[in-house]
Structure 1
């Protein structure tokens, strides 16, 4: 259903590059549920479960789609030549600690959780 996929594509644009934490994943799931409910014409007062709405519309959870996109991106990086910037950046180790306020979870950490 096109109406259900369009908001998801807007919300997850370039998401394969994000180091997604549980908090971000939860917020995206809430956003997706709100969009699906609006698309299906169902309110919270109808007391319809989120899984039922997702099944009725025929879309997978947004967390699964994010995981697929990250793994697809990782596959492209692994198949690229060794002298490309993305392959060099993947294997790059930066010495030292991250500065205060920076996220502790990196893209590779998220990817290892996906595998």
Structure 2
């Protein structure tokens, strides 16, 4: 292992990541999600992946409990967290700079 620790050492992942000075995993996942979102949004509107945005899935009766988290809501939350808008997607370089998370802190 890079840090010289094993599972027997019982050291928390957060501690290992902070010692190795790598970016938190949730931030890297958010970066990947927004990178894919940008890729899809830059595609022409008649491509099948863009047609999926307009599908209405509310024909089925909802079950009990909290509604499932949708892709649209997750993306909206990510954009609010980073304080950027969907319109920035068209500026590819600026979009990449705004969603990028450094691998090493």
Q: Same fold (TM over 0.5)?
A: yes
Residue of structure 1 in register with 2:54 after alignment: 91
Residue of structure 2 in register with 1:104 after alignment: 68
Q: Does the alignment pair 1:81 with 2:57?
A: no
Instruction: Give the secondary structure class of the aligned counterpart of 1:56.
Output: helix
Q: TM-score, normalised by structure 2?
A: 0.55
Q: TM-score, normalised by structure 1?
A: 0.51
**Counting helix residues as a fraction of each chain, which structure ranks higher?**
1
Q: CA deviation at 1:78?
A: 0.6
Q: 1:107, 1:98 → 2: CA distance?
A: 19
Instruction: Give the secondary structure class of the aligned counterpart of 2:41.
Output: helix
Residue of structure 1 aligned with 2:25, choices 39, 57, 62: 62
Q: CA deviation at 1:49?
A: 6.6
Q: 2:56, 2:42 → 1: CA distance?
A: 20
Any stretches of 5+ residues in structure 2 without a counterpart?
80-105
Q: CA deviation at 1:99?
A: 4.8
In our comparison, the structure showing a higher alpha carbon Rg is 2
Q: CA deviation at 1:71?
A: 0.4
Runs of 4+ aligned residues of structure 1 deviating over 6 Å after TM superposition are none
Aligned residues: 74
